[in-house]
Amino acid sequence: MLKFMLFILFLMPFSFLGSLWWVVQSSVILVGMFIVFFYIPIHDASCLGYSMGWDLLSYVLVLLSCWICFLMMTASFSVYSDDFFSGLFVFFILMLLSFLLLSFSSVSLFGFYLFFESSLIPTLFLILGWGYQPERLQAGVYLMFYTLFASLPLLVGLFYIYEVEGGLMYMVLSYEVNKSVMYLCLMVAFLVKMPMFMVHLWLPKAHVEAPVSGSMILAGVLLKLGGYGLLRVSKMMSLVGLKFNYMFMSVSVFGGFLVSLICLRQSDLKSLIAYSSVAHMGLVLGGLLTLNFWGCIGSVILMVGHGLCSSGLFCLSNMVYERLGSRSLFINKGLLVFMPSMGLWWFLLSAGNMAAPPSLNLMGEIMLINSMVSWSWLTMMMLMLLSFFSAAYTLYMYSVSQHGKVYSGLYACSGGYFREYMLLLYHWFPLNFLIIKSDLYGMWL
């Protein structure tokens, strides 16, 4: 573990040498490749030492972090070509990657909390430094205060567990939560990070104001920190969860349906994709809170699938924004005429977003729906509506953006660059082909 961290640490000085952008970018994916070839922790934890270690769950999310950070640099080529503080930009990406690797690799709950909060700092700088509109200041404040305010009870709860147990290594913790206050302390930080409906307002704001790299890392990895944290603390809450989980589950599944309706009223392309993230995460949260086998595995699969699919859609919306200077669906119409070669990628990633086969999203949703219906058949009605409207807003996004009369200000046709096609392929290929090795996802339990 230490060698990977040193690798990233020694890359940081190179980020300030503008001519070495591609060297840093290829080195990030090289870290991912090293992790793939050196360690495959299937049955138990590996790389243990210095309060760090991986099991299969953290291994999958570490790989996702490396992959998305590599793609962030590919998508943000305009920062490099315009030399818009490109050195500082790469430095913050490497800083964010190192915090994510540390938070997913930490064996101690306090270590996880520390790096989980630290990842906010580079994200905030990415939004404030390379965001688009003056409202990015407000979005940054929302992001910080929502997350920090909800995380303080978690810190107090961890101190209490340390006092009782004498340690916070989650692999050996035998603590069982028996107080409702303690349950709330451990849950709320992760519910805000997921985010659950009613504490989700920071997410669309942050997405709309963030640059494409900020949106990609937010949708791709940072939302998964909440799900990962819940999976780690859920074994301490198996008894008290029987009394209270149904409340949060009801809010998340019903909220997912309401957010799907909100998606149908969006005129901003990026805002629509951001709200669809809330709907997907509502489903993940619902399955996770059932605390059964299918729910836990389905939530991991859907988190990975959503991370790749949502990140790809943000890349597509950014490609349109770079050419037209707007993300409004009233202007971005008839893109099949304006950018015919991108039409296929819009279709493929939209199909992934509505959980069409053979994407990971489909497999994750089937497992989550199974887990929730087996937990209570009353959830069936909301799940029907959620699945239906999930397809409805994705079709709305695809049909309105690709078809219709082209905006009268456009008198050209635009192709994509090779870099952009490769970027979209790198999102789509793992989204649809990781299902081949789907049996591995359950082995961490």
pLDDT digit string (tens) for 354-374?
Answer: 999 889 999 999 999 999 999
Whether the bond between 358 and the residue before it is cis, its omega within 30 degrees of 0, is: yes
Which stretch of 42-51, 90-99, 145-154 has the lowest confidence by average pLDDT? 42-51
The 8-class DSSP code of residue 412 comes to -
Please say if the pLDDT value at position 65 is more than 80: yes
Which run of H or E residues covers position 49?
strand 46-49
Angstrom distance (rounded) from CA 263 to CA 313: 15
Task: Look at residue 49 in the predicted model and tell me its pLDDT.
Answer: 77
Q: What confidence tens digit (pLDDT) does each residue in 117-138 have? A: 999 999 999 999 999 888 999 9
Please say if the pLDDT value at position 239 is more than 90: no
DSSP string, 66-95: HHHHHHHHHHTHHHHHTTSSHHHHHHHHHH
Task: Look at residue 405 in the predicted model and tell me its pLDDT.
Answer: 87
Structure token pair of residue 241: 């969860």
Structure token pair of residue 356: 């069409």
Say how many C-beta atoms besides its own lie within 10 A of residue 357's C-beta: 11
**Mean pLDDT, residues 311-333:** 92
**Sign of the alpha-carbon dihedral angle for 68, 74, 76, 79:** positive
Task: Look at residue 407 in the predicted model and tell me its pLDDT.
Answer: 81
Amino acid at residue number 216: M
Measured between alpha carbons, how far is residue 103 from residues 40, 100, 117, 210, 224 in Å? Answer: 19, 5, 9, 23, 11
Partners of residue 54 on adjacent β-strands = 46
**Mean pLDDT, residues 140-166:** 92
**Domain spans of the chain?**
1-441
Structure token pair of residue 318: 């950014």
The answer to whether 284 and 194 have CB atoms below 8 angstroms apart is yes
The answer to whether 364 and 286 have CB atoms below 8 angstroms apart is no
39 closest CA partner among 64, 68, 59, 62: 59
**Mean pLDDT, residues 94-117:** 94
Please say if the pLDDT value at position 244 is more than 70: yes
Please say if the pLDDT value at position 278 is more than 90: yes
Partners of residue 106 on adjacent β-strands = 52
**Mean pLDDT, residues 396-410:** 88
The distance in angstroms from the start CA to the end CA of the chain is 22
Task: Look at residue 206 in the predicted model and tell me its pLDDT.
Answer: 94
Mean pLDDT of the chain: 91
Instruction: Pick 363 or 172 by higher pLDDT.
Output: 363
How far out from the chain centre does Cα 348 lie?
19
Could you give phi then psi for residue 399, rounded to 5 degrees? -70, -40
Measured between alpha carbons, how far is residue 351 from residues 308, 365, 375 in Å? Answer: 13, 14, 28
Angstrom distance (rounded) from CA 101 to CA 241: 29
Q: What confidence tens digit (pLDDT) does each residue in 178-232 have? A: 888 999 999 999 999 999 999 999 999 999 999 999 999 999 999 999 999 999 9
* Rg (the chain; Cα; Å): 21
Angstrom distance (rounded) from CA 196 to CA 201: 10
Please say if the pLDDT value at position 42 is more than 70: no
Task: Look at residue 444 in the predicted model and tell me its pLDDT.
Answer: 76
Instruction: Pick 412 or 200 by higher pLDDT.
Output: 200
Name the 3-class secondary structure at 399.
helix
Please say if the pLDDT value at position 300 is more than 90: yes
Angstrom distance (rounded) from CA 124 to CA 53: 28
Angstrom distance (rounded) from CA 428 to CA 350: 11
**Residue in this structure with the two tokens 């790989």, named with its chain if needed:** 63
Whether the bond between 357 and the residue before it is cis, its omega within 30 degrees of 0, is: no
Say how many C-beta atoms besides its own lie within 10 A of residue 88's C-beta: 16
Please say if the pLDDT value at position 409 is more than 80: no
Please say if the pLDDT value at position 445 is more than 80: no
Angstrom distance (rounded) from CA 244 to CA 186: 13
Confidence of residue 37 (pLDDT cuts 50, 70, 90): confident
Please say if the pLDDT value at position 442 is more than 80: no
**Mean pLDDT, residues 401-423:** 87
**Mean pLDDT, residues 383-407:** 93
Please say if the pLDDT value at position 421 is more than 90: yes
Task: Look at residue 248 in the predicted model and tell me its pLDDT.
Answer: 94
Angstrom distance (rounded) from CA 180 to CA 335: 52
Task: Look at residue 43 in the predicted model and tell me its pLDDT.
Answer: 65
